[in-house]
Amino acid sequence: MKIIAFHNLKGGVGKTAAASNVAALAAEEGIPTLLWDLDPQGAVSWYFGNTGASARVPKAGRLVKGKTPIGKTIVPTGIENLDLIPADVSFRNIDLQLEKHGDNRTLADWLEPLGEDYGLVVLDCPPSLSRLAEQVFRVSDRVLVPLVPTWLSLNSWHQMQEFIADKKLDSGRFQPFWTMADRRKNLHRQLLQSPPQELTGLMPGYIPYASDVERMGEKRQPVHWFAPRSTAALSYRLLWRGLTKGKRSLKL
């Protein structure tokens, strides 16, 4: 089983849309996939229509303490090969629970039994550098970091690199990709054409700033379902192909 996390310090950068589309593309290739909505805001859960599914999700404290098996939190999405652990508002306090009980249970412990049923787990993470983020970074085979082509977004990448170094994490697992790119803007074009050298492992292509991505909230579907020939759909396919092909590809 492979684990891919989508993480960024900043909210509103297309992280959730990318996680949702990549998970759906993996499932359509026949890979049993689990998408875990770790963000209490629950955007992934909204995209896949599980507005009432949170009733099945235990409070963060029960999961951290090991009182509830993770299998009881999983719900179907209606897409073949794709299941979901929906968000729950109690996960806003998960760092407090990990601080209190984390010596006994970790994210790796929760995920380990899932390897019997899933070939891929996709984690949509809340925008923070926290105890949970550190555990996500340690357990993931890849951490994909969406970056808007702006200097402020690049600063968030530098902050993440400092966190990675401080926690002695494997920096090779982290791969940035451009998101919400608007080629009408000079700075966006400049950074797309000449990416800074510190963006090691930059994924190919970019996710455009496009209305089709915003329409996911209306359609509550991955982009390639309702706009299969759109630039956004092709861009998500390129992102997925970048994960599964080439020298640094995941063996799924």
Would you state the pLDDT for residue 90? 65
pTM for this entry: 0.91
- Measured between alpha carbons, how far is residue 118 from residues 30, 138, 173, 249, 252 in Å? 11, 19, 21, 18, 10
Pick the CATH number of 2-244 from 3.20.20.70, 3.50.30.30, 2.30.110.10, 3.40.50.300: 3.40.50.300
In 3D space, the residue among 168, 237, 173, 244 whose CA is nearest the CA of residue 207 turns out to be 237
Q: Tell me how far apart the alpha carbons of residues 167 and 90 are, in angstroms, rounded to a whole number.
A: 26
**61, 97 contact by CB (below 8 A):** yes
Would you state the pLDDT for residue 68? 74
How are beta strands 75-79 and 142-147 bridged, if at all? unpaired
How are beta strands 2-6 and 120-124 bridged, if at all? parallel
Per residue in 105-138, pLDDT (tens digit) is 678 888 888 999 999 999 999 898 888 899 899 9
Would you state the pLDDT for residue 252? 79
Per residue in 204-248, pLDDT (tens digit) is 999 999 999 999 988 889 999 999 999 999 999 999 999 998 667
